[in-house]
Structure 1
């Protein structure tokens, strides 16, 4: 089968016109198509039915083989590299801090104060890149706060974590970053085992399920995973959501007047602009999907963003609608046993950030209404967002 969209590489190119291309493929009747990805051939899954079905088919098409190839060398054996009982028990061991009740408590304890703290650092009038000044920093600070790591160490942690993301393009830097994070965490984990505190690292160091506890390396691997899985995806989605609201004055005004609609805005933002646009997977044997045979040892790209705009499922799929029925049909957070552990936290961070930025930055507007919006294909989002405002209101 001939490669489609031959002029682009879905792993390397910015693809500002990604959704136009995907709509054209759907309209041509395609459901699974071969495309170029990191210089190789990958099979892109376009429709909601197939994407959602694949996430549910963990036994037939497990996630672990893909993660063992593209993340385990840098991050270690994370939850995503595990299957069966090993995955089930390890997920139970780390899940306590992420259930809805824990997230609701965290909103008041840390999410709101951290957002206000960052807004307080903004100049009283003028402008800034809202991604650099707020949305990239906020999810990162939430995670370091949850782990109980010192604020003063955040720049160093950010540097090491940026190094992890260089795999596989710069494997040496990624491996060095992994070693640096391990050296940093080793005495901290030992201290939390001996003297637990009220933080996530202490929970990980002391949790027990079915007679199992987490080893030091399992804790380190979870920390190496939580930053890219939690901070990077959330900041990219946050930037895209803010861009979508600010580029639509009517939507912006309505969210200012009717705060109760902000949860609906977050839900639509996650559907339309979830950062994990394409989710790489790997076939260890040949499979047939929507009548298309995908060979063994092939990369599959689950089209999360394509499925979330599938007209077979969503009416007016490209429209940002605050009245859309909430049926949780979007696949933004994946599905099946590997459904995103941090989904409740991500929603809470987006809701907190959107509300406080709208309420506290008077006259908030895009510096250039022609801002092109999100870009990227595997991880898609707004990476810079120049804005202006008239005044910073005091925190409520």
Structure 2
């Protein structure tokens, strides 16, 4: 425990906090630039400028500190090894080398060429819903299958058997992204990771014999050229891309639709002014970030918000708080789809670990929100929504919609 700065404890797992964390973020911002949290054994920075300062720095590693890994690594030895391997590839120099291999797949130009396919998948899902009764549980009948199908097609595992396989077990992976997940959820995530890894082993063997125009084939080629050292690296990269490729984007779509329906004047504006869609997506990402919190561990002594963070100590950054910081965003709790500086949000973090799939996530948001506004001008919630029991990820578990209004 540090005695030279304030100690503040707040729980990320309270029901009220998870329903609306923003008043607490604001109070923390007003009172502190940095404070110590005993539960996390870490510093916490809530303000935009300090969050930016940490994220853009290069003297950090992404691997969480020991307190955050206790639940995951205590689950069992298999999960221990999986998690250690998972985080190994997020730090330098492995991160830079592997990121360079896949970065060309997620450029705005490449994603632009995929727009038509995203639109086709979304329309198919919506048409299937309309053919039934016009009501839909958006999170699990639209958002999840859309984002999962998109990322699996990019990876190259898009056969019908893969759709069924990933649909059945893919969501369990999210348990490995939650710092406060119960042990049983971590175990389910570890089991899911093993099954998915085994599937990628089979696909790698197939691509060695018959390359295709997909990301796994590109990774296989990189290994042959010596840019990836072994199949283990490729498999973990595939698991990572799969997980972040659907989970955070799925949450972004749900959060965005909920925000629009909670502000009907903004939804109407989106319908009337389709040209504002790209700007609106940035504002929705700012307003309800699908990832609320992340962390860094110092690799040497670093000054953060006037405090010396020593080598090996951890800093937690409140992304959701930074996105609502009134020092940067005027009237930050107001949803404004034409906000001039919405693109300054921290939802995709910043610096060397800026989200590789940002262009893809924004494109899926643009297509989804524009399509709903165009096809269903009277879209409404058909029943109360429910937030998932998560804190690091901000996500709805249920969002029932009436498409025909």
Q: Which stretch of the first structure deviates more once superposed, 74-83 or 190-199?
A: 74-83
Describe the superposition over 1:149-176 as per-residue Cα deviations: whole angstroms up to 9, x where unpaired.
1133223224443444444724544443
2:354 counterpart of 1:339 = yes
Whether the aligned pair in 2 keeps the contact of 1:115 and 1:138 (CA below 8 Å) is yes
2:367 aligned counterpart, secondary structure: helix
Q: Which of these residues, 105, 108, 112, is aligned with residue 100 of structure 1?
A: 108
Whether the aligned pair in 2 keeps the contact of 1:3 and 1:33 (CA below 8 Å) is yes
Q: Map 1:191-202; keep pairs closer than 5 Å.
A: 191-202=206-217
d(CA) in 1 for partners of 2:12, 2:188: 24
d(CA) in 1 for partners of 2:50, 2:206: 47
1:271: how far off?
1.1
Q: Which of these residues, 140, 165, 179, is aligned with residue 156 of structure 1?
A: 165
2:324 counterpart of 1:316 = no
d(CA) in 2 for partners of 1:213, 1:81: 12
Q: Map 1:174-213; keep pairs closer than 5 Å.
A: 174-207=189-222, 211-213=226-228
1:198 aligned counterpart, secondary structure: coil
Distance 1:104 1:78, change over 3 A: farther
Aligned to 2:12: 10
Whether the aligned pair in 2 keeps the contact of 1:278 and 1:305 (CA below 8 Å) is yes
Q: Map 1:273-352; keep pairs closer than 5 Å.
A: 273-283=288-298, 287-292=302-307, 294=309, 297-326=312-341, 328-352=343-367
Whether the aligned pair in 2 keeps the contact of 1:262 and 1:355 (CA below 8 Å) is yes
1:387 aligned counterpart, secondary structure: strand
d(CA) in 2 for partners of 1:22, 1:65: 22
1:226: how far off?
1.3
2:388 counterpart of 1:388 = no
d(CA) in 1 for partners of 2:294, 2:28: 18
Whether the aligned pair in 2 keeps the contact of 1:79 and 1:90 (CA below 8 Å) is no
Q: Map 1:349-364; keep pairs closer than 5 Å.
A: 349-364=364-379
Aligned to 1:111: 118
Aligned to 1:394: none
Q: Which of these residues, 119, 132, 145, is aligned with residue 140 of structure 2?
A: 132
Q: Which stretch of the first structure deviates more once superposed, 144-153 or 270-279?
A: 144-153
Distance 1:12 1:137, change over 3 A: farther
Aligned to 1:87: 95
2:33 counterpart of 1:21 = no
Q: Which stretch of the first structure deviates more once superposed, 117-126 or 159-168?
A: 159-168
RMSD: 2.9
TM-score, with structure 2 as normaliser: 0.84
1:215: how far off?
2.3
Whether the aligned pair in 2 keeps the contact of 1:196 and 1:202 (CA below 8 Å) is yes
1:283: how far off?
4.3
Distance 1:16 1:95, change over 3 A: same
Describe the superposition over 1:102-149 as per-residue Cα deviations: whole angstroms up to 9, x where unpaired.
0000112x2111111111110354422211211122111111111221
d(CA) in 2 for partners of 1:211, 1:45: 40
Q: Which stretch of the first structure deviates more once superposed, 178-187 or 299-308?
A: 178-187
Aligned to 1:56: 56
Aligned pair count reads 383
Whether the aligned pair in 2 keeps the contact of 1:364 and 1:387 (CA below 8 Å) is yes
d(CA) in 1 for partners of 2:234, 2:285: 29
Unaligned runs of 5+ in 1: 392-396
Q: Which of these residues, 105, 108, 120, is aligned with residue 127 of structure 2?
A: 120
Aligned to 2:76: none
Distance 1:280 1:22, change over 3 A: same
2:272 counterpart of 1:257 = yes
2:120 aligned counterpart, secondary structure: helix
Q: Which stretch of the first structure deviates more once superposed, 75-84 or 373-382?
A: 75-84
Distance 1:245 1:72, change over 3 A: farther
Whether the aligned pair in 1 keeps the contact of 2:65 and 2:313 (CA below 8 Å) is no
d(CA) in 2 for partners of 1:276, 1:381: 9
Describe the superposition over 1:185-226 as per-residue Cα deviations: whole angstroms up to 9, x where unpaired.
222111112211111211221137985245211111012111
Q: Which of these residues, 221, 224, 230, is aligned with residue 236 of structure 2?
A: 221
Q: Which stretch of the first structure deviates more once superposed, 168-177 or 225-234?
A: 168-177
d(CA) in 2 for partners of 1:192, 1:209: 12
